[in-house]
A and B are shown apart, each in its own frame.
Chain A
Amino acid sequence: MEDLKLTLKKQIIEELNLQNITVEDIGDDMPLFAEGLGLDSIDALELVVIMEKHHGIKITDESVGKEVLHSIDTMAAYIQAENAANK
């Protein structure tokens, strides 16, 4: 799980071009949007792409997206849960 969270942080920094941010700056439970990391709705679309491209998880429902993409913790938990369900 820790590896997955680290991987997610690296992918977010890379794909969202967060030039001044390191993995240490992103807390596991830090809200990714608004007051936490400060991502916006264009970034939200990119996170959906990361989930699909790198982790095979499709997010098509906006309300699901809002919950799942809340923090690194919620993203990692969802990936694990979906992978377990698909075994």
Chain B
Amino acid sequence: MRISAASTISHQDTFQHKGFSAALTGLKQGAQVLEPDYTKFIAPMELRRMSEVLKMAIVCAVDCLDQAELEQPDAIVVGTAIGCAVHTKNFMDKILASDGGLISPTSFILSTHNTIAGQISLRLKNHGYNMTHTQNSLSFEQALMDAMLCVKGGCKQVLAGAADELETSLYDIKARLHQEHAIPVCGASFFVLSAEAVVGSDINLVDVESLGLVTGLTEHIATFLSSNKLSAADIDLLLYSNSTQNTVDELTTIFGNGKLYDYQAISGTYLTNSAFALHFGIDALSYTSHPLFGENVRNVLICNNLIPENLGLILLNKTY
């Protein structure tokens, strides 16, 4: 199926920036999230309640629908690892501060993981399928698999994405991932998957796999590729998350040195950053000759090993 729109808000210049895959360099420590002017998309009376993750996700979703010239998607599917963590924390603080009297409910109301997908459907008055996947580093892959099932099941256009905010008092990602040099950030990426070829879109989402509690990459990658009638040699660009040196070594053995690209260095570290990687891959494929990756980039594989025992694989290609 085609990918007919993509939108990302991050700590890099990605929002409404076509061609960003050639323009970005490694994320610097201390970089702030590059927010668009949210008031252009969301009314102040709605904006006042929203934590960062809600604002980012809603604006990316709206941007995607604009790009695809789509009023109503048939389904909305979201992946989020820590959900509305800021609202969760706020409510926990309120519980601590309360003396048994009434507690202000807004933070609780907005704290459920599916608030992101729910708020998008509320804004659009969308009555379609609406789902939220919360399987830490595999949340986005599962959302994508779900979206693909929707399209196979008859949906024409599906809005799918992932978002996670930065809330280190509840989830210290550096400690959890044992990655000393990681730069914890937030990010949101949304996409429109379409059943039919859409004019101007020649980028295809071919297959997605979510593998939990597994070891080693080689066999799983080989199985995934061969089920899509491909081998490692057919992959032109391998986007990976820099989880451990073992990961890098194993991927180098499988794919060789020249094709690997560390997306985590660009996106920063949050559990659903494989969504950033998908947008990066889409953007890279939009070039005829990419400044970094050259010509004839056709098959892109995203290997998400952010949590070592979880493996997410996303395969996309370009129709020439």
Checking A17, A49, A52 against B48 with a beta-carbon cut-off of 8 angstroms, the contacting residue is A17
Name the segment of B102-110, B158-166, B230-238 touching the other chain: B102-110
- Assess whether A63 is interfacial by the CB under 8 Å rule: no
Give a binary string over A1-42; 1 marks a CB under 8 Å from any B CB, 0 the rest: 000000000000001111110000000000000000010001
Tally the A-B contacts, defined by beta carbons under 8 Å.
29
Chain A, residue nearest B45 (CB): A38
Give a binary string over B55-94; 1 marks a CB under 8 Å from any A CB, 0 the rest: 0000000000000000000000000000000000000000
Chain B, residue nearest A20 (CB): B44
| Interface size range of chain A in the complex | 10 to 19
Contact A42 B102 (CB under 8 A): no
Chain B, residue nearest A15 (CB): B104
- Assess whether B200 is interfacial by the CB under 8 Å rule: no
Complex-state Cα separation, A18 to B44, whole angstroms: 8
Contact A46 B106 (CB under 8 A): yes
Checking B49, B104, B109 against A49 with a beta-carbon cut-off of 8 angstroms, the contacting residue is B104
Chain A, residue nearest B110 (CB): A42
Chain B, residue nearest A58 (CB): B102
Contact A17 B49 (CB under 8 A): yes
- Assess whether B154 is interfacial by the CB under 8 Å rule: no
Contact A53 B102 (CB under 8 A): yes
Checking A17, A20, A48 against B102 with a beta-carbon cut-off of 8 angstroms, the contacting residue is A48
Interface residues, chain A, with chain B CB atoms under 8 Å away: 15-20, 38, 42, 45-46, 48-49, 52-53
Top 3 nearest A-B pairs (CB, nearest first) are A17-B48, A49-B102, A52-B102
